[in-house]
Amino acid sequence: MSPITHTRDNRESGNAVGFDEAMRDLAETIAGRKVEPIRIAYMALRKAAGKMPPHEILEHVDRAVTTQAGSARQMIYSAFSHGHCVMCSNGIAPCRTCDGSGTVNDYVCPDCDGTGVEICSFCAGTNWSDRHEIPDEIRPAAVSRRIKHAEKDLARLDRMSEADMPASVGKLQTQQRRKLASRLLRLQARLTNLAGVEVGSNTEHVARFHEGASRIERFIEALRAKQPPAEKNQ
């Protein structure tokens, strides 16, 4: 089926945007290289494509959209892999009990143990859009990108020495403590998500991600204040 047929079908069925128009919109967003507009434009194209099989939509994209930096298809995969949770910023929110300060009446906040942050309940701390919001034809490629990113972050974590943590934690100001806790909690959430949902059949990944998540737990444990944050001690 040609895109022209689809354009006509869609106009007849009352859809606002035809296939060709939706393709032009997508090309524009890809040129702009912004994650959110690319995702929205691809979903609009998909809708305009009516009953066209998804792999054909992507083939149309390959032909219609040329980019300088890699193929349009790769940009679409990337946009969906980077899709963010709409309910939080970075998977983490300031702790509601202490308003992110880490203390309540000069005592360590009982809910966040002084870290000042809590995990977004919507994305479980990953800051990723829900996997079900990623179309089937995109999901495997988007997930493999998420796995690659997690691998990179894990490698960075490998260079962090556990033995260094408790000694330095006491010196951390609230702001630094919150920043580090946020980063660790997010990576931990992502590893747990990937190990649980995405790489179930890849036992090597599952084991490595679970191991990474429990190593992070020990880092976070060290971050939990046994006494009020540093500036309160002075």
Among 57, 98, 187, 216, binds Zn ion (CB under 5 A): 98
Q: From 31-39, 96-104, 185-193, 206-214, give the range in contact with Zn ion by CB under 5 A.
A: 96-104
Regarding 88 and contact with Zn ion (CB under 5 A), the answer is: yes
| Sign, CA torsion 185/191/195/198 | positive
* C-alpha angle 15-19-22 in degrees, rounded to nearest 5: 90
The helix (run of H) or strand (run of E) holding residue 81 is helix 72-81
Regarding 95 and contact with Zn ion (CB under 5 A), the answer is: yes
Distance CA 210, CA 225 (A): 25
Q: Is 157 helix (H, G, I), strand (E, B) or coil?
A: helix
Measured from the CB atom, the residue of 5 and 173 that comes closer to Zn ion is 173
In angstroms, give the least distance from the CB of 217 to Zn ion. Answer: 18
In angstroms, give the least distance from the CB of 119 to Zn ion. Answer: 8
List own/partner pairs for 5-9 with CB under 8 A and 24 or more apart: 6/48, 6/49, 6/50, 6/52, 7/48, 9/50
Regarding 109 and contact with Zn ion (CB under 5 A), the answer is: yes
In angstroms, give the least distance from the CB of 85 to Zn ion. Answer: 3
Among 120, 169, 180, 187, binds Zn ion (CB under 5 A): 120
In angstroms, give the least distance from the CB of 111 to Zn ion. Answer: 5
Q: From 7-15, 94-102, 184-192, 219-227, give the range in contact with Zn ion by CB under 5 A.
A: 94-102
In angstroms, give the least distance from the CB of 113 to Zn ion. Answer: 8
Helices (H), 159-234: 164-169, 174-193, 203-223, 230-233
Residues of this chain that interact with Zn ion (CB under 5 A) are 85, 87-88, 95, 97-98, 109, 111-112, 120, 122-123
